[in-house]
């Protein structure tokens, strides 16, 4: 039988300990009581910004921003991630899948801890062109998952392309960085235009995304080496996936967030 490395026992034991003590101490409720009123005030005060942006309402803009939102949605991941494996870029595919899973878990955890509302509709016009968007509208607002995922995925994709090609051309790097900023900016503005998020949600998603991306760029090689040739990988990840289900916070009201992260948790285990 394969032995279990000490760091794995410490890591899993730490999560199990957190589950027990956070439940006993009602950590979720205490954090919510501190953060929810503040964020809710920002959402209410930011309604005027949403309405100003929505003054430029047009069917073409509705189609543009709805289409862009689909680029960081579950149906897109379902089609995009297998293509990465089939194209032979298995390391990128593994990293993108795990990164999406991590972003989804962290973003939804914060959403359900804070349980802050989305912009009130009416007066805000909420555009839900797809069934996926209708489901998203049932979640809480802070942070914007679309902004968070776009920052992490486009940023990591740029990092991988530059590393894979070995490009050291400053102009190429600047063009890539500008393109990433443009995509992130369009997604952020689009989420406000569609009435799905307020400015504080976008800022929260941007800040969290930059933090996760920075962390991931520091550990991605170690994670991939562990998955490909590490010790006790399958059983460790199975226990980790199981514990993360119980570590997830309980929202103020039921939302689809738990189902989303559970699905991606299973996908990550499949890797």
Beta strands in 16-109 (DSSP E): none
Active site residue 197: yes
Task: Enter the tokens of residue 83.
Answer: 């293509």
Closest CA to 208 of 77, 72, 106: 106
Instruction: Assign 3-state DSSP to the chain and report helix, strand, coil percentages, each to 5.
Output: 75, 0, 25
CA distances from 266 to 51, 103, 163, 250 (A): 39, 14, 29, 20
User: In the chain, what is the straight-line distance between the N-terminal and C-terminal CA atoms, in Å?
Assistant: 22
DSSP 126-170: P---SHHHHHHTTS--SS-HHHHHHHHHHHHHHHHHHHHHT---H
Q: How many CB atoms lie within 10 A of CB 178?
A: 10
CA distances from 254 to 21, 31, 117, 205 (A): 23, 18, 13, 21
- Of residues 58, 89, 159, 197, which has the active-site annotation? 197
Cα–Cα dist 221/237, whole Å: 17
Q: What are the catalytic residues? A: 146, 197
């Amino acid at each position: 039988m394969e032995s279990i490395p000490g760091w794995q026992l410490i890591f899993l034991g730490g999560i199990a300990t957190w589950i027990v003590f956070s439940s006993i101490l009602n950590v979720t409720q205490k954090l919510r009581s501190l953060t929810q009123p503040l964020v809710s005030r920002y959402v209410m005060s930011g309604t005027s910004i949403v309405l100003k942006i929505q003054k430029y309402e047009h069917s073409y803009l509705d189609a543009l921003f709805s289409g862009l939102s689909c680029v960081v949605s579950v149906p897109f991941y379902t089609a995009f991630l297998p293509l990465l494996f089939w194209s032979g870029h298995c390391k990128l595919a593994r990293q993108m899948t795990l990164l999406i899973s991590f972003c989804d878990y962290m973003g939804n955890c914060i959403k359900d801890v804070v349980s802050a509302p989305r912009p009130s509709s009416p007066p805000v016009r909420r555009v839900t062109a797809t069934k996926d968007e209708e489901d998203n509208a049932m979640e809480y607002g802070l942070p914007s998952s679309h902004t968070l995922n776009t920052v992490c995925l486009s940023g990591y994709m740029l990092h991988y392309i530059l590393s894979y090609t070995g490009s050291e051309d400053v102009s190429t790097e600047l063009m890539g960085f500008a393109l990433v900023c443009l995509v992130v900016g369009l997604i952020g503005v689009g989420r406000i235009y569609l009435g799905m998020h307020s400015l504080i949600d976008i800022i929260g998603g941007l800040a969290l995304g930059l933090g996760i991306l920075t962390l991931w760029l520091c550990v991605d090689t170690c994670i991939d080496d562990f998955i490909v040739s590490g010790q006790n990988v399958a059983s460790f990840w199975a226990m980790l996936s199981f514990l993360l289900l119980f570590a997830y916070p309980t929202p103020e009201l039921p939302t689809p967030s738990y189902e989303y992260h559970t699905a991606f948790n299973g996908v990550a285990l499949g890797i």
